[in-house]
Amino acid sequence: DGGITQSPKYLFRKEGQNVTLSCEQNLNHDAMYWYRQDPGQGLRLIYYSQIVNDFQKGDIAEGYSVSREKKESFPLTVTSAQKNPTAFYLCASTPLGQLPSYGYTFGSGTRLTVV
Amino acid sequence: KQEVTQIPAALSVPEGENLVLNCSFTDSAIYNLQWFRQDPGKGLTSLLLIQSSQREQTSGRLNASLDKSSGRSTLYIAASQPGDSATYLCAVRPGDYKLSFGAGTTVTVRA
């Protein structure tokens, strides 16, 4: 079945450590996104990419980095510069050029906790 | 900037009652609106997508309406069941492919 796979499901980060969250999709979607979800808040956009080797900052990009070397993969690195990284991270994708009839598909998320 | 609001933040109903969840948005220039369901600790599951040219979409017990001119969408869930307990999120998509989300409505259906 087509979908988005996020790994790991749970991740623990020590102070000063960089960690990388994986996101892989087999939907042949062009655009991929990373969102952060905190309790009681809506999802906030971290980074997005509409084409390989190109990506754009979202609303809360500070302390995060991404790469898009393959269409299927969009890993997110949480760097030591991100002072409050404990949150639930969601990856999403959507086809481009299909306009109003296509929606977004989300992965199952990664819960990151600072220890 | 698009602002999306969902009221109420939480809702508790007895089993069998119909659910009405509201979503409002400030900019009517949208491509579509999508309703999602999220169970605790899980990702988002798409329930319904309404294109900007449509007034409503239906899937089983779910019906979503869209009034673009007034910036409102409503999700109706008929004959609620305990399995409907979850958080429901609405998201609007403008032309730049970046979704704007509401904070969600957490629904509890009491058996």
B26 touches chain A (CB under 8 A): no
Does position A6 have pLDDT exceeding 90, yes or no? Answer: yes
CB atoms within 10 A of CB B8: 12
Question: What percentage of chain B carries pLDDT values higher than 70?
Answer: 100
Calculate the average pLDDT of chain B.
Answer: 94
Residue B37's Cβ-count burial label (10 Å; 0-12, 13-18, 19+) is buried
Residue with tokens 């409505």: B105
Does position A97 have pLDDT exceeding 80, yes or no? Answer: no
Residue with tokens 């102070």: A15
**Minimal CA–CA distance to A19: which of A73, A72, A85, A70?**
A85
User: What whole-number distance in Å separates Cα of residue A67 and Cα of residue A22?
Assistant: 11
- Buried b / exposed e along B80-95 (16+ C-beta atoms within 10 A): beeebbbbbbbbbbee
Does position A98 have pLDDT exceeding 90, yes or no? Answer: no
B46:A111 CB<8 A: no
pLDDT of residue A1: 66
Summarize pLDDT for B22-54 with one digit per residue, the tens.
Answer: 999 999 989 899 999 999 999 999 999 999 999
Summarize pLDDT for A46-72 with one digit per residue, the tens.
Answer: 999 999 999 999 999 999 999 999 999
A104:B52 CB<8 A: no
Amino acid at A6: Q
pLDDT of residue A93: 95
Q: How confident is the model at residue A101 (pLDDT cuts 50, 70, 90)?
A: confident
Lowest mean pLDDT among A1-5, A9-13, B38-42, B62-66: A1-5
Does position A20 have pLDDT exceeding 80, yes or no? Answer: yes
Q: Which residues of A touch B49 (CB under 8 A)?
A: 101-103
Q: Are A98 and A39 in contact (CB under 8 A)?
A: no
